[in-house]
Amino acid sequence: MTDTQHSQRRSQATASVAAILAESAKRFPDDVAVVVGDRRTTYADLWAQTLAYAGALRARGIEAGSRVAMLVPNVEDFPRVYYATLALGAVVVPVHALLKRGEIEYVLRDAQASLLVCAAPLLTEGAAGAALAGVDVVTVLAPAGGAGGPGGAGEAGGADAPAGAAPGTRAAPDRFEDLAQESEPLDTYVPRDPFDTATILYTSGTTGHPKGAEGSHFALLEQANTNLLSTFDLHRGDVMLGALPLFHTFGQTCTMNTGFRVGATIVLLPKFDGDGALAAMVEHDTQVFMGVPTMYMALLDAATRTGSRPPLRYAISGGASLPLAVLERFQQVFDAPVHEGYGLTETSPVATFNHVGTTPRPGTIGTPVWGVDVEIADPETQDRIVMLPHGQIGELVIRGHNLMNGYLDRPEDTAAAIVDGWFRTGDLGTKDDDGYLTIVDRTKDMIIRNGYNVYPRQVEEVLARHPDVAMAAVFGTPHEQHGQEVEAAVVLRTGATVTPQELIELVAGEIAAYKYPRVVHVLDALPLGPSGKVLKRELVQQFSAKPAVTTA
């Protein structure tokens, strides 16, 4: 929302996501908010540092309605910059940490960002992308006396460095920490209309250029409150592992915003790996873990190398379907229940969950969260929503307080995604008579072989049950005779002896003949996106070019 639109208020009510940290700083000033390595930051200190950062942003010309992009890993500076931007009434544009300069340029241009706050280790791509977009840069995490001076860590090229320029050929970005010390801090946060845009989060762009989903203050606040009231099992003083990237909606809303709202302590990991995560969980007596399926697999792998276990009370899985075999192994190894949920960037994100107080139903994504409706619609009817009876496979559609304002400057895409007030997810699933939903697969991931629908998740579940398989992904490749062929890529555990042909025979013995993979590729690792999801489109591209010997 522009400031002109803001002057025409919908109501006299105000709201700000920055209130999450501000209020907890008042209520729990001496509680530890964030742990990074051996550094512990209290809520009072984190809010004071945030107000100082907000003062620096104001001195840099940032005001209500400005867009501030941030390229920062999971360290204390992420919440500082995030809430400082919101405290000014500006809009946060988190940038995925793995993007390259051209992708960063696209996000900065599309969001019309006024500034990029970039961590020094990410300046090589970040500053280059900002230069291409003509956006000013300030840096965090650069050594004192470094960025802004000769020989500093910030000399990866300033915002005015030409594309392809050698490092250090232009002035390095200013250190944000120095600017904060020199500026007058804010007294408190600036109130906004509840439906003003607070964040612009870019979708993965699997079907074209990424789109910026605008999240309102209301949707994000209501999400945190709903998570705590009736959805998650979280309490003041809980120690949570902050392994999910905070630039992604799952980590940002469910870990950071919800965790800070309740007064939890978040142990942030700048980079996730199974051994490091397990060690951090043990060291800090972590009680709550949130992760995507690949993180669960990595923790199970790490658990084979140590007998140490954290005192986990609760685990939350989202982002993709967790294979039942992995869920069962995790519950056994870590002695904690796993509750699955479901959501998207466009839904803030949580839409359904196996709620606190109810026994989770493994294999389902639970029931809709409070105030949100999730139904199954006919995926073939695009111009209106046609509901299907319980039990039938169709497209999940969502409506409620958690919906985005829309896609930034893309009214046609917004109109196609939100039909009759329902957001079309593109995910296929079913709903039973008890209201429990099950994801079958993404519409785009479904394979059609000889005219029959093959849902990769069903095949992956069978592969995941084999003790030698650590990870599995099933995908379709073009085939002259069958239309598409079913193939699988697997990562095997250390010491595995199973062969690809044995895996093919295993699956062929458990599911229909048209569904089992005719080819199994053994890989050292699966391609993963920044949030830990398997990038099946890369597998399709990699193996579509290779002739495959298939069995009938």
Read off the pLDDT of residues 80-133 as tens digits, 9 standing for 90 and up. 999 999 999 999 999 998 888 999 999 999 999 999 999 999 999 999 999 999
- From the list 385, 474, 373, the residue with the least C-alpha distance to 431 is 373
- pLDDT value of position 185: 98
- From the list 166, 246, 169, 200, the residue with the least C-alpha distance to 405 is 200
Report yes or no on 132 lying in a domain: yes
Report yes or no on 208 lying in a domain: no
Q: Which helix (H) or strand (E) holds 102?
A: helix 101-111
Between the CA of residue 230 and those of 102, 352, 440, what are the distances in Å? 42, 12, 26
Report yes or no on 58 lying in a domain: yes
End of a domain among 159, 182, 205? 182
Of residues 418 and 439, more confidence is placed in 418
Of residues 439 and 53, more confidence is placed in 53
Number of structural domains the chain divides into: 2
Report yes or no on 159 lying in a domain: yes
CATH number at residue 106: 3.40.50.12780
- pLDDT value of position 484: 85
End of a domain among 182, 209, 227? 182
Task: Read off the pLDDT of each residue in 136-151 and give the average, rounded to a whole number.
Answer: 72
Radius of gyration for the alpha carbons in the chain, expressed in angstroms and rounded: 24
What is the Cα–Cα distance from 524 to 272, expressed in whole angstroms?
Answer: 18
Q: How confident is the model at residue 379 (pLDDT cuts 50, 70, 90)?
A: very high
Report yes or no on 532 lying in a domain: yes
Report yes or no on 174 lying in a domain: yes
Report yes or no on 176 lying in a domain: yes
Residue with tokens 């500076």: 77
What is the Cα–Cα distance from 160 to 354, expressed in whole angstroms?
Answer: 50
Report yes or no on 490 lying in a domain: yes
CATH number at residue 464: 3.30.300.30
Task: Read off the pLDDT of each residue in 254-270 and give the average, rounded to a whole number.
Answer: 98
End of a domain among 167, 182, 197? 182
Range of the domain at 466: 446-544
